[in-house]
Chains A and B, each alone.
Chain A
Amino acid sequence: MFAIEAIGISKSYRFKKQEVKALHDINLQILQSELFGLIGPDGSGKTSLIRILNTLLLADSGTGSVDGLDIVKDFEAIRRRVGYMPGRFSLYTDLTVEENLQFFASVFNTTIKENYSLIKSIYQQIEPFKHRRAGQLSGGMKQKLALSCALIHRPSVLFLDEPTTGVDAVSRKEFWDMLKELQANEITILVSTPYMDEAAICDRVALIQDGSLFKVDKPTQIVDDFTPKLFGIRTKEMFRLIEDLKSWNSVHSCFAFGDSCHVIFKDLNNEVAACKTYLMAKQHQDIEIFQIKAGIEDCFMYLMKKSA
């Protein structure tokens, strides 16, 4: 049995009398206590898919199950055993940290005490502020509180919609560590994120773009499957370099990446020399070209470009 399963889910919205396809024939299987990442740019359909799976939204067609329960028929049972953390902070800002936790515990007919062990390591970090109103917490603390509230009824499946958007790098790292810890408690976690670097932490990831999934695999496998040769190029004028590379028809794709440009060439023999000549003709100085090993982000950029 899969913890989460989606079979042919489609959803479209009507916007100004125009049909906008948000999801197109999504098929997905997520295993028990897997940390599964849903990676895609803004507007790719991540939130719609999560909302359909946690019974907040009805799909136009297709079926699915969470914990073996049908997402349409058994929505009440599903709601009792899933935790959901929406992308936007959605706890009561005028209630204190403790009151929020208390309220959501009681909503699920449980108490903080009963499941304290599960949230302990997370909640302890914000416990010193438990009499503070949730609205007055910092971004990172808000997120910890939201996670605590989503976990207070010991859900078997946890949906996290872009939990790390707008959070600083340190808190992001901490947050992913917490998710890793939760896995040990046999909780299946579906987390969506626009940040590709976070994919490497997940057990498996799905790439979503324009409402379609086009790659579901282990992050390491995705990197291993990457066949094209990847080059890093650096010159004195980085901005002009990108422009020039993009306008060169021998370049398949080119992305700025830190202090260099990651480039994949179309079938070109002796790429390094050819590229050097081209760039010299464009009057670039201090040209450095070197082959590099692809990271997960390079794979995504490449795959996304290919599918688009």
Chain B
Amino acid sequence: MRTVLFIIQKEFSQFFREKTNIRMLLVMPVIQLILLPLAANYEVRNIQICIVDHDHSGYVRELTHKIAASPYFKLNSYLDSYKDGLERMEHDEVDIVLEIPPDFEKTLIRENEAALSASVNAVNGQRASLGAQYLLAILRDFNREIRLKWVQFPKFNPVPIIQIDHSFWYNPMMNYKHFMVPGILVILLTMVGANMSALNLVREKELGTIEQINVSPIKKYHFIIGKLIPFWIMGQVVLTLGLLIARLIYGIVPLGSIFSIYLFSSAYLLCILGLGLLISTFANTQQQAMLISFFVMMVFILLSGLYTSIDSMPQWAQWVTKINPIAYFVQVMRLVIMKGSGIKDILPHLASILLMAGIIIPWAIWHYRKRS
């Protein structure tokens, strides 16, 4: 046990010797946590719309005002020809071209219905679908206003109507930051942890210092555990820093207890650091370790449910998320921070992570060879 302490002491003095290391550990996550949530914004704004008006009626003017007044749309141009509008779309100046046919107003009044055509630039799929939905919402609204003006509703509706109103639970304002910031914090913790541990052991291989360790009576598990603990502590520091930033900058106060977050992160860090060390027992150079860990983390992050919902992934991908530690932590963070889940609710997640750590760490110890 004493040996482990000496290895930990050695790791810490090596780490703190380099000022760059400390900066990387503290400053990098802070900057990323400040910048990334702003960029990972799911609200689509400033949709450039072009209205091609063949009617020039009062209604069209009203509709145009309504669209321009919406925070989501920017009236890019007001043209006479659809061809010109499409050309602008080709130059990527315009996202939606809304064409209003001649006699739109007249047809609407006379026949109680009129058609419009909206062409949406779908190069950016998310922007297109959200833009079209926003536009539809505005048109529906507009339609209702006209009906109110023209149609005298009977006292009782002859046809029963079901009206749906919804409210968002656990995030009433649908503030995307509330679910992105905890997720991004998980990613940061993962990247810092996995990379630090993956590079560390390989560095010893590259410098040849592992030779001196191998020829000494240090036990394999002493060595791996001695490597694990310093990074475990640093990981908790990064997590604390991240939670502070979430609170101070984004005003995110966990609904659940902080303790359950730390309980989970304790297990999670073991798992992810073990993974890093496992990678480093396979790699021979820091470059290899970096690339392998980048590849693994990339897959895990994209399949973590941070950016896209796991429920809408294909079946095989959903199975992959079962062995994806990041997915569990993202879920737990969101559960505890937004929903206020307690330890009992995250127990299944905790068990899965502990199981993974229980496989990965012995694997890393087993695969690290003191002689070839």
A contact set with B: CB distance below 8 Å: 54-58, 75-76, 79-80, 82, 84, 86, 88-95, 99, 103-104, 106-109, 133, 149
8 other A-B residue contacts (CB within 8 Å) besides A55-B215, A86-B212, A107-B6: A55-B371, A58-B372, A84-B212, A86-B208, A92-B10, A99-B10, A109-B3, A149-B212
- B41 on interface, CB distance cutoff 8 Å: no
Tell me if B2 and A75 are in contact (CB < 8 A). no
Question: CB-CB < 8 A to B370: which residues of A?
Answer: 56
The answer to whether B3 touches A107, judged by C-beta atoms less than 8 angstroms apart, is: yes
B31 at the A interface (CB under 8 A):
no
> B215 to chain A: which residues have CB within 8 Å?
54-56, 79, 82, 84
Neighbouring A residues of B207 by C-beta, 8 Å: 90, 92-93
Give Cα A94–Cα B11 distance, bound, in whole angstroms: 10
Residues of A within 8 Å of B14, CB to CB, are 92, 94-95
Closest partner residue, chain B, to A76 (CB atom): B217
For A82, list chain B residues within 8 Å (CB).
215
Q: What residues of A have a CB within 8 angstroms of the CB of B211 in the complex?
A: 56, 84, 86, 90
CA of A133 to CA of B17, assembled, Å: 10
- B340-372: contact bitstring with A at CB < 8 Å (1 yes, 0 no)? 000000000000000000000000000000111
Tell me which residues across on chain A come within 8 A of B17, comparing CB atoms.
94-95, 133
**B6:A103 contact, CB within 8 angstroms:** yes
Give Cα A7 to B14, complex, Å: 42
- Select one of A54, A104, A106 contacting B2, CB under 8 A: A106
In this complex, the member of A80, A88, A103 whose beta carbon has the largest number of chain B beta carbons within 10 angstroms is A103
Complex CA gap A84/B214 in Å reads 10
Q: Is B145 an interface residue when CB atoms closer than 8 A count as contact?
A: no
Q: What is the CB-to-nearest-CB distance from A56 to chain B, in angstroms, rounded to a whole number?
A: 5
Residue of B nearest to A105 (CB): B6
Interface positions of B from 207 to 245, Cβ below 8 Å from A: 207-218
Determine if B209 and A58 form an interchain contact, defined as CB atoms under 8 angstroms apart: no
- In the complex, the chain B residue whose C-beta lies closest to that of A79 is B217
CB distance from A145 to the nearest CB of B (A): 12
The closest CB in chain A to the CB of B223 belongs to A107
Which residue of chain A lies nearest to B371 when distances are taken between CB atoms in the complex?
A56
Complex Cα distance A58/B372, Å? 6
Task: Determine how close the nearest CB of chain B comes to the CB of A86; give it in whole angstroms.
Answer: 5
- With both beta carbons as reference points, the residue of chain B lying nearest to A92 in the complex is identified as B209
Complex contacts, A106 vs chain B, CB 8 Å: 2-3, 6
Query: Residues of B with Cβ closer than 8 Å to A?
Result: 2-3, 6, 10, 13-14, 17-18, 207-218, 370-372
Chain A contact residues: helix, strand, loop or mixed: loop
Given the complex, which residues of B lie within 8 Å of A104, measured CB to CB?
212, 216
Docked Cα-Cα span, A258 to B370, in Å, equals 45
A90 touching B371 by the CB < 8 A rule? no
Complex CA gap A149/B216 in Å reads: 11
A92 to B13, CA, bound (A): 11
B219, closest chain A residue (CB):
A76
Cβ contacts under 8 Å, A91 to chain B: 209, 212
A selection of 21 A-B contacts at a CB cut-off of 8 Å is: A56-B211, A56-B214, A56-B370, A56-B372, A58-B371, A58-B372, A75-B371, A76-B217, A79-B217, A82-B215, A84-B215, A91-B212, A93-B207, A94-B14, A95-B14, A99-B10, A99-B13, A103-B6, A104-B212, A107-B218, A108-B217
Contact across chains for A90 and B18 when beta carbons are under 8 A apart: no
**Taking each of A90, A95, A109, which has the highest tally of chain B beta carbons within 10 Å of its own beta carbon?**
A90
**CB-CB < 8 A to B214: which residues of A?**
56
Q: What separation, in Å, do the CA atoms of A242 and B338 have in the docked complex?
A: 86
Q: How far is the CA of A54 from the CA of B372 in the complex (A)?
A: 12
Alpha-carbon separation in the docked complex, A56 to B371 (Å): 4
Question: How distant is the Cα of A58 from the Cα of B370 in the complex, in angstroms?
Answer: 11
Chain A contacts for B212, CB-based, 8 A: 84, 86, 90-91, 104, 149
- Chain B residue numbers with a CB within 8 Å of A107 are 3, 6, 213, 216-218
Chain B residues whose CB sits within 8 angstroms of the CB of A92 once the complex forms: 10, 14, 207, 209
B217 contact set on A, CB distance < 8 A: 76, 79-80, 107-109
- Residue on A with the closest CB to B5? A106
Of all A-B residue pairs in the complex, the 8 with the closest CB atoms, nearest first, are A90-B208, A106-B6, A84-B215, A79-B217, A80-B217, A88-B208, A107-B216, A86-B211
Residues A79 and B216 in contact, CB atoms below 8 Å apart: yes
Instruction: Give bound CA distance, A133 to B15, whole Å.
Output: 14
Q: Is the CB of A95 within 8 A of B10?
A: yes
Q: Are the C-beta atoms of B216 and A108 separated by less than 8 Å?
A: yes
Among A76, A106, A109: residue with most chain B CB under 10 A: A106
**Complex: A102 Cα to B3 Cα, angstroms:** 12
In the complex, how many angstroms separate the beta carbon of A57 from the nearest chain B beta carbon? 6
A95 to chain B: which residues have CB within 8 Å? 10, 13-14, 17
Closest B residue to A88 by beta carbon equals B208
Tell me, rounded to whole Å, the shortest Cβ–Cβ distance linking A58 to chain B: 6
Complex CA gap A58/B371 in Å reads 7
A106 to B214, CA, bound (A): 15
Q: Which residues of B have CB within 8 Å of A88? A: 208
Q: Report chain A residues within 8 Å CB of B371.
A: 55-58, 75
Chain A residue nearest to B17 in the complex (CB): A94
- Cα distance A281–B213 when bound, in Å? 63
For the complex, what is the distance from the CA of A82 to the CA of B13, rounded to whole Å? 27
Complex Cα spacing A104 to B3, Å = 10
> Within 8 Å CB of B213, what residues of A?
107
Nearest B residue to A82, CB-CB: B215
How far in angstroms is the closest Cβ of chain B from A170? 26
User: Complex Cα distance A291/B74, Å?
Assistant: 102
Residue of A whose beta carbon sits closest to that of B210: A90
Residues of B within 8 A of A84 (CB): 211-212, 215
